[in-house]
Structure 1
Amino acid sequence: MTVLRVAAGQAEARPGGDETTVRANAATAARLTTRAAAEGARVLVLPEAFLTGHEPGAFAGPLPAPRDLSGPVGGWLAELQQAATDGDVVVVVSTALDRGTRRTLSSLVVRPGGEVVAAYDKQHLDGLERRHFVVGDAGASVEVDGVRLGLSICYDGCFPEHARAAAADGAQAYLTSAAWFPGGEHRRDLHVASRALENGVYAVLSGLTGRCGALRFTGGSAVVDPEGRVLARLGEEEGLAIADVDTDVVAQVQEAHPMLRDRRSDLGTRHLR
């Protein structure tokens, strides 16, 4: 049995891809990391595009390159790297990235010791995002203390196939960095619970909250168990939703409700009768 405490953090982010703004958002991320560590969390998930803000003007302007964010402690993410190291917390934080020939919405993994890896690029873009970014071409998971965690960003989590691919690859929890607008709360909450229930895994959603430029976001960070029950949830306030991922519970639920094992990838030809 492995029990891994995870935290979904939410706060406001400032819009902009310049160094000053990214450092300011990284400082907010560092503050949440320190709080998560004090609560015993080993993993902290942060919202979509948290380092640059989720805002059209920010997406259209200059964005950080991977080299700006992946350097040794002392660079743009210095405070966050130090907080992750001091608290022994693995932080999943999303950002818009300029990769030279393409731009992506991505998840960075910041590990204790200061290592920063651009681990995942969002695979499902909505209408606004398609103007600025290209889709990622591969899924990704990370392992912390032997627990496999699938990565997703916002709209990814609306597609059952995305979480199913992570679970089929052995993920025991599905982590989503999100930014939901007002009016989408019902769908947001259904999506995160459904991804957990369908696959017998934990689902962790971190939602951007408050104002980001002219836009407003509704938070809703949550941790949901493998049967779709909410273990922790926030409203629109800054804070952390914290719960334990228990690999024994995952195994028990998947044995009792073996949808992963019983699924059929080929359902044959459909007929209209």
Structure 2
Amino acid sequence: MFVGVCQTPEILGDVEAALDVVHDFARRADGVDLLVFPECFLQGYLVTANHVREHALSADLRLALRPTVVLGMIERRARGFANTAVVLHGGRTVGAYRKTFLTRGERIFGAGDDYPVFDCAGVRFGINICFDAQYPRAAAAVAERGARLLVHPAQNMMRRDRALHWQSRHNELRRRRVLETGMWLAAADVTGSRGATHLGLGPTVVMNPSGEVVATVPAGVVGMAVAEVR
């Protein structure tokens, strides 16, 4: 199975512009079976009450896409909101994972309580979202369901000093989860800046079960990295 991880610009509150980016990557993803986008990419990761309430959508999406896609979004649910990654196959939502471990700034979301797995091109995968990587049991729960690949939508747009401090540490955390579980990992993140205060440095990577980075998009570059998961 070939997985493509997409390093995108940050787009806030413009679903049409975000979908243009999704379709552009999908058109260029020749031979890719699974395409991964960052955390909350569809509406932009801004967890203020106004942004979430204005832009949240149902997770039942229908898009004209060929590859299977994991797309981060802000989901509107019957009893609130969730930080969600939907899985689209044949252009329709076939499942979703809701972020389990929320940061203190994400109190507007309800936490997920399940770790569904999905099959694509002969490879089973599950999902952790961004801060979930801090917790071994989130990755372990995916591995226990027979997954070979851990998909990891992330959004590390941070204040500039924190972005520089954490730049290499994100992959250190991901590597720990890989070595603990024996899974591959495919992480998609954002790059660029938000005004003068915030910076996104990724990293967007694919790691093998030995914790080695086998494909990556350089910091500051919008692009896609592709690797074969065996």
Q: Do both proteins adopt the same fold according to a TM-score greater than 0.5, normalized to the shorter chain?
A: yes
Q: Which runs of 4 or more aligned residues in structure 1 lie more than 3 Å from their structure 2 counterparts after TM superposition? A: 56-61, 211-215
Which residue among 144, 150, 164 is the counterpart of 1:174? 150
Change (3 A) 1:11 1:160: same
Are 2:56 and 2:81, in contact at CA under 8 Å, matched by a contact in 1? no
Change (3 A) 1:121 1:212: farther
Are 1:120 and 1:151, in contact at CA under 8 Å, matched by a contact in 2? yes
Q: Deviations over 1:160-216 (max 9, x none)?
A: 111111111100010000012312122201012221111111011111222357643
User: Please, which runs of 5 or more residues in structure 1 have no aligned partner?
Assistant: 73-80, 247-273
1:34 aligned residue:
27
Letter in 2 for 1:62: E
Change (3 A) 1:71 1:241: closer
1:100: Cα distance to partner? 3.3
2:116 aligned residue:
140
| 2:60 is the counterpart of 1:70 | yes
* Number of residue pairs the alignment of both structures matches: 221
Are 1:157 and 1:191, in contact at CA under 8 Å, matched by a contact in 2? yes
1:53 aligned residue:
44
Mapped partners of 1:124, 1:52: distance in 2: 20
1:230: Cα distance to partner? 0.9
1:118: Cα distance to partner? 4.7
Mapped partners of 2:104, 2:222: distance in 1: 28
Mapped partners of 1:118, 1:215: distance in 2: 32
Mapped partners of 2:61, 2:152: distance in 1: 25
User: Please, which runs of 5 or more residues in structure 2 have no aligned partner?
Assistant: none
Q: Secondary structure at the match of 1:15?
A: coil
Question: How well do the aligned residues superpose, as a CA RMSD in angstroms?
Answer: 1.7
Letter in 2 for 1:177: P
1:216 aligned residue:
199
1:199 aligned residue:
181
Q: Would you tell me which structure has more helix in proportion to its own residues?
A: 1
Mapped partners of 2:89, 2:99: distance in 1: 20
Mapped partners of 2:194, 2:113: distance in 1: 28
Alignment of 1:101-140 (within 5 A): 101-112=79-90, 114-130=91-107, 132-140=108-116
Mapped partners of 2:145, 2:214: distance in 1: 24
Are 1:53 and 1:212, in contact at CA under 8 Å, matched by a contact in 2? no
Q: Secondary structure at the match of 1:47?
A: coil
Mapped partners of 1:141, 1:158: distance in 2: 20
Q: Would you tell me which structure has more strand in proportion to its own residues?
A: 2
Identity value in percent: 28
Question: What is the TM-score of this pair, normalised by structure 2?
Answer: 0.89
Larger radius of gyration: 1
Q: Secondary structure at the match of 1:32?
A: helix
Are 2:52 and 2:74, in contact at CA under 8 Å, matched by a contact in 1? no
| 2:211 is the counterpart of 1:228 | yes
- Identify the range of structure 1 (146-155 vs 52-61) with the bigger mean alpha-carbon deviation: 52-61
Question: What is the TM-score of this pair, normalised by structure 1?
Answer: 0.76
